[in-house]
């Protein structure tokens, strides 16, 4: 039987003097990779982002905000699941805006060096999911957001403040 290799994903900036890891401040995330993959070609390992997962989630929320998305929430799901560290949930007025927001995120995050594991929903519209390993971005139209209510499903998740200067109420 062929053994499985492991690879360590490290997405924190070494230049900033922080630890190496993507869970918390100084831990490393190890994941199995198939023996036929080399870490330099594995889709998760080859392109780690220079941003840690919290910074990446906040950056995604700000990109959505710049494109006039509304009802943007960043949920900290680290204590609830191992599938990701953060969800970014945003809404667009219609399918065209949802697709535009998703495309702008793809382009922007490609430039930052973030590695996209996958995406779903571009063809159907209504809900586009972008998986950046530790951050999963959900962009909905209004009807899909009201139907799926992810923020209620993940109601135990902590809210992350992503706005630099939150307007006072």
Domains of the chain, each with CATH number or no CATH? 53-159 (3.30.460.10)
100-157 per-position pLDDT tens digit: 999 999 999 888 888 888 889 887 778 999 999 899 999 999 999 999 999 899 989 9
Predicted pLDDT at 13: 34
- Please return the burial class of 62, using the count of CB atoms within 10 Å of its CB with bins 0-12, 13-18 and 19+: middle
Which residues lie closer than 8 Å to 163 by C-beta, 6 or more apart?
Answer: 65
15-46 per-position pLDDT tens digit: 333 333 333 333 344 444 444 444 444 444 44
Taking the C-alpha atoms of residue 134 and residue 87, their distance in angstroms, rounded to an integer, is 9
- What value does the mean pLDDT take over residues 45-66? 80
State how beta strands 135-141 and 86-92 pair.
Answer: parallel
- What value does the mean pLDDT take over residues 6-11? 45
Predicted pLDDT at 115: 81
- What value does the mean pLDDT take over residues 58-66? 93
Taking the C-alpha atoms of residue 120 and residue 108, their distance in angstroms, rounded to an integer, is 18
Whole-structure pTM value? 0.68
Instruction: Collect contacts of 78-81 with beta carbons under 8 A, ≥24 apart.
Output: 78/23, 78/24, 79/157, 79/158, 80/154, 80/156, 80/157
Cα 43 off chain centre by: 15
């Amino acid at each position: 039987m062929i053994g499985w290799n492991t690879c360590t994903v490290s997405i924190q900036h070494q230049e900033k003097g922080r630890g190496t890891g993507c869970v918390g401040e100084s831990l490393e995330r190890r994941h199995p990779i198939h023996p036929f993959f080399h870490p330099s070609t594995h889709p998760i390992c080859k392109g780690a982002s220079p941003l840690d997962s919290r910074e990446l989630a906040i950056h995604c929320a700000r990109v959505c905000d710049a494109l006039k998305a509304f009802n943007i929430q960043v949920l900290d799901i680290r204590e609830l699941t191992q599938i990701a560290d953060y969800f970014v949930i945003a809404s667009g007025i219609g399918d065209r805006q949802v697709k535009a927001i998703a495309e702008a995120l793809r382009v922007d995050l490609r430039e930052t060096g973030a590695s996209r594991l996958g995406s779903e929903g571009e063809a159907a519209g209504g809900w586009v999911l972008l998986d950046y390993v530790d951050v999963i971005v959900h962009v909905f139209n209004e009807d899909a957001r009201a139907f799926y209510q992810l923020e209620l499903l993940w109601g135990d998740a902590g809210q992350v403040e992503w706005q630099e200067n939150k307007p006072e109420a």
